[in-house]
A and B are shown apart, each in its own frame.
Chain A
Amino acid sequence: MMRAVTLLIVLLSVPVLGAIEEYPFESDQDEARFKKLTYEMRCPKCLNANIAGSDAPIAADLRREVYQQVKEGRTNDEIIEFMSSRYGDFILYRPRLTLATFFLWFTPLFLLIAGFVIVRRMMAASQAATPADGSLSPEEQARLKRLLDQGKDN
């Protein structure tokens, strides 16, 4: 019985990454800002994690820095600028819109528009081939005539 319980506990317990520290804020708005900033900033040393969820010392340092700056009243843009000027755009999970990232942000939209254009073209082609009222298209009429003529000849 005990072995089964131990087995169950072992199987269901859960490891945690991401240091658990307290960052008390006075306003909900500040807390929301802190959360957003730390979620959207990449830990420079980790294997793809944000600074909110990482154990690494550098992530703790950066969390502390963001916390202090939010408390001081700096805006999100200012904090982002501060971080990226020191750690590069690498630290931003939301890529800035530059000439280089233009295609990143807009290609999906272009593809979507292209997709809908294709749908319209296909529908138009399909409707041209067969009139919507179910009567025969010109090609089908010609074929019918040929078949009937053949029948007449036999």
Chain B
Amino acid sequence: MIPELGNFSLVLALSLSILLSVLPMVGVYRNNPLLMTLSRPLCAGIWVFMVVSFGCLAHAFLNDDFSVRYVASNSNSLLPWFYKFTGVWGGHEGSLLLWVLMVASWTYAVSLFSRNLPLDILARVLSIMGIISVSFLVFMLLTSNPFDRLMLNPPADGTDLNPLLQDFGLIVHPPMLYMGYVGFSVAFAFAITALLTGKLDAAWARWTRPWTNAAWAFLTLGIALGSWWAYYELGWGGWWFWDPTENVAFMPWLVGTALIHSLAVTEKRGVFKSWTVLLAIAAFSLSLLGTFIIRSGLITSVHAFAVDPERGLVLLAILLVVIGASLFLYALRAPVVKGTASYTMTSREVFLLINNILLVVSTAGILLGTLYPLIHEAINGEANMVSVGPPYFNTIFLPLMALLTVFLTIGSISRWKKTSTAFLKDQLVKVAVASVLLGIVLPLFITREVNLSIFLAVSLALWIVFGIARDLVTKSANKDSLVKGLKSLSLSYYGMQLAHLGFAVIILGICLTSHYSVERDVRLAPGQGIEIGSYEFIFQGVVDAPGPNYRAEAGTVDVLKNGRPYMTLHPEKRTYLATGAVQTEADIDVGFFRDLFAALGDPRGEGAWVVRIHLKPFVFWIWFGAFLMAAGGVTAILDRRYRVRDAVVRDVPPEKAATGLGMKSPVEAS
């Protein structure tokens, strides 16, 4: 009964989505305010029905309703309740439901937080988001319905959630990731709206920025959580493999980052307009492409959902229509007129353009690498298949990121339209010298060795950090005190610096951990140990231990630091009762400056086991840095300018002259 209700709810959501795609748009072109205002309640209705539908599926899981095929293949009566709930999005159909719930949520949010949007703009934006809902609801109802029943012989029990997914990561990673993926549909909708109205001005950029920042922040968290989860799941110290499924999440993020910066230029200076629109279309298109690639059976990945090429065809059709139509509209309507503002070689505009180029080239490289095996097979036949893996991606990506970092500090210090080179020199020469010197001295002092990659990593990270400090001093210098000066700076400015700081932290985390990690696989008898750095790891044997849905052999590894007892690690080897699957569960002690890791290999007789021990310095900084970046994005959204209700109409300088729709911006500090 409940699953049928869930299914019916989906149908209702689809009906309302169809109305949302059509009626407000008709209202726009017929100048009918009633049809346009209808968009808001329609959004609320769609959201309600999607929540109901999700609730029904969750109910089926929590009540072990194995007559529903999706529940039977992704759950088991012995599964702990929180994995039953999150198992809702553990497979293709359910995660698609989550996806559509996200689309409905973002659409509803746009309808709620849009008091200052003219009605005809709102109507268009919501209509376009309605089209996205329609596409995916149709896809679900036609090919991937989570509520399908096993009519004839419902099984007594389910085949269990994949043990790899029975992990905290499943609770957080997909929802965050989808919030990000789907969030870019808002910028996309605004971009299409701009193409439809022919009006691409500062006001448009102002509306789009907070939504884009929010989506970007979620995607940052989603990717970071995925990487953290992979680090835990794989347990051999890896946290990024350039797997196709990782790449398809990363590409929208890169383009999203470019979009955020491009939007800043378009808003402040009215240039790069058509480029910004193209980026907004590209970011969401890459999200859609990602959804397609993961669910189509096109590529090989342990992370790919097990679906068939027929569903892939339907998804490809959706892609062709949505992306094809958008890009065609772009080609026809992108403003041929260039922005009238001018800028010099050392202006912020140029540095942000360089930022965009580096990010877009990175994305292109990753896209090419991901699809290349397919392209190679199509052209050369399947006789000689090739693989493209981390060596390629690292070679292409890392140098581009190094270049990006160099321009990051220069760009964030530079001024709009024109920055005197004297000013740049004055601000940055000392910063550069300090970064380079410390890049050599610090590693040498702490570890008594230095090499090129460590030097680059430390210097570039310090280049960012010192640059931030320098800019804070400069910007607060003209006030009475430092504190007053800092208080006068906007949240938008702090958001930027926080995000850039996060980037510096990530750089350090990645390079330091890649270089300084130590990993040992050794045969240890109870009482035997090994030394790594200032730590000593002593194996104390293995005992039997039962769990909720598995049997385990639990090991104990005592850790000493500088000779004194420090903590204990408990790696396990588990056999899951439902499937008989055996899984090695490592124990990781997470620390801000280092992770300690222990895992069990195979027994070697007489109580001895092969044990893996890792010492991974600074690996936490990777995810901490990502968190700082996301925090920066959120901080920027909270800036007062996005909450100005009563717009103060002022004389606007010629470059900002909007042919726009009445929203003028107060002048900002930065």
Contacts and interface: CB of A to CB of B under 8 A. Distances in A.
Q: Do A and B come from one complex?
A: yes
Contact of B364 (A39, A108, A118, A130): A108
B345 A90 contact: no
Contacts of A18: 234-236
A50 B389 contact: yes
B602 A20 contact: yes
Given A14-B585, A48-B300, A92-B387, A19 B601 contact: yes
B342 A127 contact: yes
A10 to B, nearest CB: 7
A14 to B, nearest CB: 4
Contacts, number: 181
16 contacts: A13-B586, A14-B586, A16-B586, A17-B234, A19-B601, A22-B521, A46-B302, A52-B236, A95-B388, A107-B368, A111-B365, A115-B361, A116-B357, A119-B354, A126-B344, A132-B344
Contacts of A50: 389
Given A18-B235, A103-B368, 16 more contacts: A9-B570, A13-B572, A15-B164, A17-B233, A17-B234, A20-B599, A22-B522, A88-B384, A92-B387, A100-B380, A101-B372, A104-B372, A108-B364, A108-B400, A127-B345, A132-B418
A21 interface: yes
B321 to A, nearest CB: 28
Greatest chain A CB density within 10 A among B302, B389, B523 is at B389
B163 A15 contact: yes
B585 A13 contact: yes
A20 B611 contact: yes
A30 interface: no
A91 B389 CA distance: 10
Interface in A12-61: 12-23, 39-40, 42, 46-50, 52-53
A147 interface: no
B350 A93 contact: no
B548 interface: yes
B366 to A, nearest CB: 9
Interface of B: 80, 163-164, 167-168, 232-236, 238, 241, 243-244, 299-302, 304, 338, 342-345, 350, 353-354, 357-358, 360-362, 364-365, 368-369, 372, 376, 379-380, 384-392, 396, 400, 418, 521-523, 547-548, 570, 572, 574, 583-588, 599-602, 610-612
A45 to B, nearest CB: 11
A53 B388 contact: no
Interface string A86-125: 0011111111000011011101100110011011001101
Q: Shortest 8 CB-CB distances between A and B: which pairs?
A: A93-B389, A16-B235, A20-B601, A94-B391, A115-B357, A130-B342, A108-B365, A16-B584
B342 A48 contact: no
Contacts of B547: 10
A129 interface: yes
Given A10-B80, A111-B361, A123-B350, A89 B387 contact: yes
Interface string A55-90: 000000000000000000000000000000000111
Contacts of B522: 22
Contacts of B364: 107-108, 111
Greatest chain B CB density within 10 A among A10, A91, A107, A116 is at A10
Contacts of B360: 111, 115
Contacts of B343: 123, 126
Nearest to B357: A115
A90 B168 contact: no
A148 interface: no
A22 B611 CA distance: 9
Given A48-B301, A94-B391, A108-B396, A122 B353 contact: yes
A28 B304 CA distance: 37
B554 to A, nearest CB: 10
A95 B235 contact: no
A93 B357 CA distance: 27
A11 interface: yes
Nearest to A92: B387
